[in-house]
Amino acid sequence: MSSARWKTRYDVLVIGNGLAGCSAALFAAQKGFSVGIVGTGSQLPLSSGVFDLLGKLPGAKTISEDPWKALGELVARFPEHPYTKAGVKATRDAFDAYAALLNEEGVACGMEAANRKVLTSVGTAKLTYLIPEVMEKGIAPMARREKTLIVGLKGLKGFEAKQVAESARRFWPELSAVEIAPEGLGRPGDLYPEALARELDLPVYRKKLAEAILPHLDGHKAVGLPSILGMEKSKETVAHLEELLGVPCFEIPGMPPTAAGVRLREAMDRAFSRYEVASFVGGRVKKIERNDSGYTAVSFLRGEDTEISGDRLILATGRFMGGGLVGDRLKISEPLLGLSVTQPRSREEWHSCDLYDPKGHKLNLAGIEVDEAMRPVNGNGEPVCENLFAVGSILAHQDWKREKCGAGISLATAMKAIMSLS
């Protein structure tokens, strides 16, 4: 490990440790820059574990099966969209690089040319792009409508096997559900996915789980389970369960908390160690100062205000939930650097009268305006500063939830910012 690792001045300083900040930090480190990343507890553990590229064009009602074709159309028709600024090449490079990083950290994921459908814990079929191997195994049984057993665990938060099977029955009629209470698995009281997943890293607990499922197998061709299938050994956990049950087993992505989200955060932490990214976690950055040689951020870390500096700054602080953008009765602001935020002219225009307006709400398109190098720009379209970049969901002109491109925007814009670094 380099002795420079815990210095407090870096070639690149990243603020915010969600998907955009983590990937920007790792892409920069892979290019040989020294990198520091500062963030509050990341929201990565809230992630379902799958990574969307593009599900819908802005304003469209119909789903796009072919995300690359849709991306080409988006780039041609929506010049202000962050995907257009990042471009198709950076987007492809970003997905390839991120999948390779995850693979290196033991969270192997598969992607094909098209979007694919996975069954979710609310019983919907979600179209997505990069899918962890432990979830991929559910795709074929769903496509073939095979007789499949959804297994729930008594006391487990956030997963009701019956609800999954009943809601999904319109597109997967051959699903049935069972709720089991395996003896000796999980601690007394409520069960939590993260704790169960850590138990299932051990073969002895997999046997207990399989023993409780076996009496219900009854001709089912596959078994779907909540996101609990191992933490550091998810691949081994699935393989062992398949051996014990004799049918393919798969994890169902769901609402937080899930083991998949925690796995992702831990994979990022391991990658930070591998690529010598200095990660400062916990303290909210209170202030950022610009000086002759770059930027200095002040964050409350390990009981004191700590200064961390970078020659270049990447802002990846997300939207309202994480505090990257804030709103009051009059306007939306960016609190750290006071960057100009593209937004509707008045608060009355934030939301459409129709809550379910297929076009979405203008508020969701508010954010930071950037150029093609991902540098925030002023009202004249000029970069505010040569060495300042903004990436991820903080950017304007995208509605990631509606367009089903949350992970993709983060990865593509992070990659484009790093490609632009000199």
CB of 120 to ligand FAD, least distance (A): 9
Nearer to ligand FAD, 39 or 152 (CB): 39
Distance CA 59, CA 62 (A): 9
What is the closest distance, in whole angstroms, from the C-beta atom of residue 42 to ligand FAD in the complex?
5
Instruction: State the sign of the Cα–Cα–Cα–Cα dihedral 113, 115, 116, 120.
Output: positive
Question: 281 near 262, Cβ under 8 Å?
Answer: no
Minimal distance, residue 18 CB to ligand FAD, in Å: 2
State the minimum distance, in angstroms, from the CB of residue 261 to ligand FAD: 8
Residue 55 or 294 with smaller CB distance to ligand FAD: 55
CB of 195 to ligand FAD, least distance (A): 20
Per-residue burial over 74-107, b if 16 or more Cβ lie within 10 Å, else e, is bbeebeebbbbbbbeebbebbbebbbebbeebeb
CB-count burial class (<10 Å; 0-12, 13-18, 19+) for 301: middle
Inter-residue contact 100 to 118 (CB < 8 Å): no
- The contact set with ligand FAD (CB under 6 A) reads 15-21, 38-40, 42-43, 46-48, 50-52, 256, 284-285, 316-318, 321-324, 336, 392-393, 406-407, 410
18 vs 123 by CB, closer to ligand FAD: 18
Q: Which is nearer to ligand FAD, 148 or 413 (CB)?
A: 413
CA dist 373 and 413 (Å) reads 9
The smaller minimum CB distance to ligand FAD, of residues 156 and 411, is found at 411
d(CA 173, CA 325): 44
Pairing of strands 148-153, 222-225: parallel
Tell me whether residue 241 or residue 325 sits nearer to ligand FAD (CB atom). 325
The minimum distance between CB 378 and ligand FAD, in angstroms, equals 22
Shortest Å, Cβ 362 to ligand FAD = 19
* Shorter beta-carbon distance to ligand FAD: residue 241 or 316: 316
State which residue has the least CB distance to ligand FAD. 18
Among candidates 78, 92, 108, which has minimal Cα distance to 415? 92
Distance CA 291, CA 294 (A): 5
3-state helix, strand, coil in the chain (%, to 5): 35, 20, 40
Q: Minimum distance between the CB of residue 419 and ligand FAD, rounded to whole angstroms?
A: 18
DSSP 83: H
Q: How many CB atoms lie within 10 A of CB 243?
A: 11
Instruction: Tell me whether residue 246 or residue 282 sits nearer to ligand FAD (CB atom).
Output: 282
